[in-house]
Amino acid sequence: MQNNSIKVNGLQKSYRQLHVLRDVNFEVEQGSIFALLGSNGSGKTTIVKILTTLLKQDSGNVTVNGFDVLSKPDSVRQSISLTGQFVAVDEILTGRENLIMIARLRHLSNPHQVTDDLLKRFGLTDAADRKASAYSGGMRRRLDIAMSLVGKSPLIFLDEPTTGLDPEARIEVWKIVRELADNGTTVFLTTQYLEEAEQLADRIAILHEGRIIVSGTLEELKKLFPPAKVEYIEKQPTLEEIFLAIVGKKKEDK
């Protein structure tokens, strides 16, 4: 039994002259929450697309749930679900119809039951029969995530799941992500919000200039920086301070 849901080795990807991923290496343990951090344009979505078989790498080995993304893309797809960076709900359909459509596409035997359960879990029961075009941003995002949970995949990709959400809706999504992990689902998420990684992730990796420049648990990342002493009171660095120190330092290196 393999205990890594994702293994990435020597991953490279360029868009013409733009070398987005130069040498990316990391592993994600089964049942854990892994957060990939990086500035705008650092290549987070590119990694998500390669791992979910939407895009082919130039070189390097990538296995997802034990399947090679290049030679077994169908097996990868059947074993994952994805909530992309941009909401994928059909606006013309109601929340309920969106979920039923996915349940049918996934050939589930009980689409109505699955839909009712997800609507309840995501607090969308009252809005279920309204068109998604009339939903708020937070409701759309919740519906989007609910759609990716139809069929219970062992591994879920969430590309910036809380971007644009208000604090309350963000906390709601965090709760859902934690519940998923508690039930054994592996979660790969990208985020711009360092607090989100601090709150949720078992392991955090920072992508910068084509490479993972640091990865580890929050405690491990904090150990990289000795606590600042201010009048004999120890202050632990926040992830934001760690991120800025590392990204800033690397830039000075050049």
Least Cβ distance, residue 6 to ligand ATP (angstroms): 17
**Please, where are the H alpha helices in the chain?**
44-51, 73-78, 95-105, 111-121, 137-148, 167-182, 194-200, 218-223, 239-253
Distance CA 101, CA 94 (A): 10
Task: Show the binding pattern over residues 168-197: x = contacts ligand ATP (CB under 6 A), - = does not.
Answer: ------------------------x-----
Q: Which stretch binds ligand ATP (CB under 6 A): 38-46, 60-68, 127-135, 169-177?
A: 38-46
46 binds ligand ATP (CB under 6 A): yes
Least Cβ distance, residue 144 to ligand ATP (angstroms): 16
142 binds ligand ATP (CB under 6 A): no
65 and 154 in contact (C-beta within 8 Å)? yes
17 binds ligand ATP (CB under 6 A): no
Provide the CB-side half-sphere exposure for 74 (13 A, CA): 0
What is the gyration radius of the CA atoms in the chain, in angstroms?
19
46 binds Mg ion (CB under 5 A): no
199 binds Mg ion (CB under 5 A): no
What's the token pair of residue 137? 């941003």
Residue from 11, 28, 43, 239 binding ligand ATP (CB under 6 A): 43
Beta pairing partners, 18: 15
Site residues, ligand ATP (CB under 6 A): 15, 18, 20, 38, 40-46, 85, 192
